[in-house]
Amino acid sequence: VGFVDDDCNKWGTYLLGKKVLGNTREINQLIQTFRINMVTIAIPSLPKKKIQQLVQSIENKNIKVNMVPSFEEVATGKINVSQLKEVDVIDLLGREEVSLDLESISHQLEGQTILVTGAGGSIGSEICRQVLAFEPAKLILLGHGENSIYSIHRELTTLDPQRKVEILPIIADIQDRERIFYLMEKYHPTIVYHAAAHKHVPLMEYNPTEAIKNNINGTKNVAEAAKKNHVKNFVMISSDKANRPPNVMGATKRIAEMLITSLNQSGETKFSAVRFGNVLGSRGSVIPLFKEQILRGGPIIVTDFRMTRYFMTIPEASRLVIQSGALAKGGEIFVLDMDKPIKIVDLAKNMIHLSGYTEEDIEIVETGIRPGEKLYEELLLEKEKKETQIFEKIFVGDIKGFSLKEVTQLIEQLPEDESEAAKKVIAFANASNE
């Protein structure tokens, strides 16, 4: 309805179209005049004695009184983050989300057996949620972390109270070739969405061997097991970081793309990959990190004020993956038209403002680029771009790569020394663009 403030200079002024109606001594009169139901104290730093006096002064005891929590209360866990105004990642995106025609793929999913690797992750779990709505016969949740698989299994079971879909939680490591082949033979999925991967760029710079084992060898295991067991569609989640990669993570994703497209050359399985940019709100993304930094009172850490990234939401990315699987003829690398990239520093400013603060309240600090990071990401090289959309905002990149024999040879001949192996993987991934 309006505001009250004891600063007489503010009386009669307006904030966001609402008037400052008077001072705190007039609260009871204002409650009666405007039939108020709730009073919110928006000064978290107000002394407890003052708060007590204010609450006790309200004569109508049916009035609900609440407070905006302080940073300290949230940071120490006394009050849940959900009680704060949540930042809407759609607002931060700065563009309309891509709405894909999910009805066109319902016949592909209904009554089928669907396997999702990395099912406990941000993208994998959202793929599971959206697939569940189409009532497959079985939905296999494959992941390495028991807590994340337990969590998504419990959530999906709640979403399907009538048990129309058999939901199977499977703990497995994609690096375990024997286990993956056993599971693929046991369940014979119709479609595999391969979302399992190590994705954190700086972290993989410190652990290149793990990136190689998981992103290359693990993908090879899942893809070859799918091929042997006549899976109809295999869709791999890739990244814009696979394009001209200066880092290990991007290089392993590019090599995984080559594995997928080269496996498509024979057999009945349709292999494809989906390449997109950063996902807003996912674990490891800047959104939860910035939220945490805002809750602590700042500063927000940005590595370089010039840095830009392509962004999309988790549901949008997941719909793209599912839609692309339905469009696949085999061998494609699908790319989403993500419009213009967004500056990370602008994203930080938006989050500060949407959280109810100013840049004077929350400082933004530049710290320098981390190992393996690029200032700007590209989804495709200029020579790889095709003008024709195959669906609204979905393109197929004209991306060349090495053969399965050449990729396999690289994997078998990688040196044991981590730094040397990393150099060789990055050089191989970039050589495919020449």
pLDDT digits (tens, 9 = 90+) for 121-180: 989 999 999 899 899 999 999 999 999 999 999 999 998 888 899 999 999 999 999 999
pLDDT at 342: 80
Q: DSSP character for 391? A: B
Instruction: Look up 61 and say whether it is catalytic.
Output: no
Output the average pLDDT for the chain. Answer: 82
Chain centroid to Cα 213, Å, comes to: 23
Q: Give me the torsion for CA of 26, 29, 31, 32, rounded to 10°.
A: 180
pLDDT digits (tens, 9 = 90+) for 193-236: 999 999 888 899 999 999 999 999 999 999 999 999 999 999 99
pLDDT at 366 > cutoff 70: yes
pLDDT at 353 > cutoff 80: no
> The tokens of 128 are what?
């599971």
Mean per-residue pLDDT, 353-362? 74
Q: DSSP character for 35? A: T
Least reliable range by pLDDT among 126-140, 315-329, 386-400, 405-419? 386-400
Alpha-carbon distance of 260 to 239, in angstroms, equals 14
pLDDT at 48: 59
Alpha-carbon distance of 426 to 434, in angstroms, equals 13
Q: SS in 3 state form for 73-122?
A: HHHCCCCCHHHCCCCCHHHHHCCCCCCCCHHHHHHHHCCCEEEEECCCCH
* Residue 368 CB coordination number (10 Å): 8
pLDDT at 384 > cutoff 70: no
Q: Which of 285, 199, 195 is nearest to 250 (CA)?
A: 199
> The tokens of 344 are what?
């990370």
pLDDT at 185: 96
pLDDT at 139: 97
Alpha-carbon distance of 123 to 318, in angstroms, equals 6
Alpha-carbon distance of 320 to 318, in angstroms, equals 5
Left (φ > 0), alpha (ψ -120 to 50) or beta: where does 308 sit? beta
pLDDT at 99: 63
Beta bridge partners of 19: 14
Q: Give the residue, 298 or 224, on which the prediction is more confident.
A: 224
Provide the pairing of β-strand 333-336 with 270-275.
parallel
* Amino acid at residue number 106: S
**Helix H segments across 234-390?**
248-263, 286-295, 314-327, 344-354
Mean per-residue pLDDT, 12-19? 90
* Strand, helix or coil for residue 425: helix
Q: SS in 3 state form for 162-206?
A: CCCCEEEEEECCCCCHHHHHHHHHHHCCCEEEECCCCCCHHHHHH
Alpha-carbon distance of 153 to 112, in angstroms, equals 18
> The tokens of 321 are what?
């993956």
pLDDT at 288: 79
* Strand, helix or coil for residue 234: strand
User: Per the omega criterion (within 30 degrees of 0), is the bond before 44 cis?
Assistant: no
pLDDT at 393: 66
Alpha-carbon distance of 362 to 358, in angstroms, equals 6
pLDDT at 72: 53
Q: Give the residue, 218 or 330, on which the prediction is more confident.
A: 218
pLDDT digits (tens, 9 = 90+) for 237-282: 998 888 888 899 999 999 999 999 888 877 789 999 988 777 766 6
Structural domains of the chain, ranges and CATH numbers in brackets: 3-68 (no CATH), 92-431 (3.40.50.720)
pLDDT at 235: 94
Residues listed for the chain:
434
Contact call for residues 257 and 274 (beta carbons, < 8 A): no
pLDDT at 364 > cutoff 90: yes
**Most confidently predicted of 51-55, 243-247, 279-283, 358-362:** 243-247
pLDDT at 357 > cutoff 80: no
Return the percentage of the chain with pLDDT > 90, whole number: 36
pLDDT at 45 > cutoff 80: no
Alpha-carbon distance of 406 to 391, in angstroms, equals 33
pLDDT at 71 > cutoff 70: no
Least reliable range by pLDDT among 59-63, 106-110, 245-249? 59-63
Distance between start and end Cα atoms, the chain: 64
- What confidence tier does 86 reach under pLDDT thresholds 50, 70, 90? very low
The one catalytic residue in 241, 253, 270, 374 is 241
- Say which residues have a Cβ less than 8 Å from residue 103's Cβ, sequence separation at least 6: none
